[in-house]
Amino acid sequence: MSRQLHLNLFLMSRGHHEGAWRHPKSNPKALTDLNLYVEAAKIAEDAKFDGVFLADTLAAGNSSGLASSGSLEPIVLLSLLAAHTKRIGLIGTASTTYSLPYTLARQFATLDHLSNGRAGWNIVTSWAPEAGANYGLQQNLDHADRYKLAEEFVEAVDALWKSFPADAIIDDREGGQYLDVSRVTPANYQGSHHKTKGPLNVPGSPQGRPVYIQAGQSDAGRAFAARWAEAIFTAHMVKDTAKTFYSDVKNRAAAYGRRSEDIVVLPGISAAIGSTKREAEQVWEELDALTSTEVGLTRLSARFGGHDFSHIPLDRPLTKDDFPDPNSVEASKSRVVGYVDMTLREKLTLRQLLRKLAGARGHFALAGTPEEVADVIQDWFESGAADGFNVMPPIINSQLELFAQEVVPILQKRGLFRADYEGATLRSHFGLADVQQENPLAKSA
């Protein structure tokens, strides 16, 4: 079989544009209504998407009241989505900065069982002063230290997931033996930041363990992804940077003895779709008209570590001096570099920058007919920029439905995307190899 695209739904409330919550074509259900998420997940599943992904934030966010806020906890929500779907993968975000390995290992192993092998963990190295305060941290870790912590965290979770293999359960009612205790071994993980004895009290799950997913793009993030990631959610506003990232992270993975196909790279794509290009462009215009400058400035400031942009005239082209040094920013360094490069390259004013970021937030955005959107997807896929895409509909459900019902059939007709699921697990959807259940770190307590 020829190489196949992977499509993942990045599910965000009523849509990925800041103005989506106000748009008349967005789902009117409350952001706390389970059916808001069930409906979108079923649209994606009917279109044979690989997975549905939930991001997460650990702070209340914008306090102006002019933007939608409040988000449900992803692991709990995905557990409910598992009961309302059958085949689509279920990917949740959890932080290595504000979590404990044993707790997280239990939660995702449980989700993998409840979904019959459809779970994935999006590994994030969170940074936000508000989140740190919520967890009682007096001082947030810098960028490099967060990745050192993350390495230990994933090593610990990995050891825990291997400590109780599924085949240790005999469940011999007649013979009276439930467990082969020789197969269960303590993790005995000892790191500078994390220590856990184990074993885990949840047995190995249907796909061995949940799929490792990661989204960092800095040098430290790429090094981390090369070792651990099986799927990467990445953000690129142009194809050239996507190609550079794609080849770099695949080459780095080879140093760990991994094959190119061991990692699926999925850039974000936010497509406004219409029967004509002009109709599609009007979708962005309608959404932009529903945004708040105050909200945009607040979010831009947060991206740049609290830098104040409010004194800059909205309609003057921005210069390099209007931005802080990206190396001084402790949030997503690669993302802010992309923002600055795009601004200077396109000679954007502050108002124009805010509108660009109101939609795709640094991901690739476009407007076009279903055929034009499919052409772009095929081009990126065939030119070594992507293995597929993290689909970010600007409006849910209307734009998601257009993508699923108009773009996907074109990709299927071109032989680029599956007509039906071939396997039952997220690992099989992504074409990933089975994982080994033995725990190399295990040793007698």
Helix (H), strand (E) at residue 110: helix 101-114
pLDDT category at 173 given cuts 50, 70, 90 is very high
Q: Select from 181, 365, 388 the least CA-distant residue to 283.
A: 365
| Segment 365-402, tens digit of pLDDT | 999 999 999 999 999 999 999 999 999 999 999 999 99
* Position 439 pLDDT exceeds 60: no
pLDDT (average), residues 103-107: 98
The answer to whether residue 361 scores a pLDDT higher than 90 is: no
Residue 443 has pLDDT above 60, yes or no: no
Q: Within 329-396, where are the H helices?
A: 333-346, 350-359, 370-382
**121: helix, strand or coil:** strand
Residue-level pLDDT at 373: 98
3-state DSSP assignment of residue 86: coil
pLDDT in tens, 421-438: 999 999 999 999 888 665
Distance of alpha carbon 296 from alpha carbon 331, whole angstroms: 17
Q: What is the pLDDT of residue 442?
A: 45
For 30-54, the pLDDT digits (tens) are 999 999 999 999 999 999 999 999 9
- Tokens representing residue 289 in the block: 């008209």
What tokens were used for 388?
Answer: 């597929």
Helices (H), 255-320: 277-288, 293-303
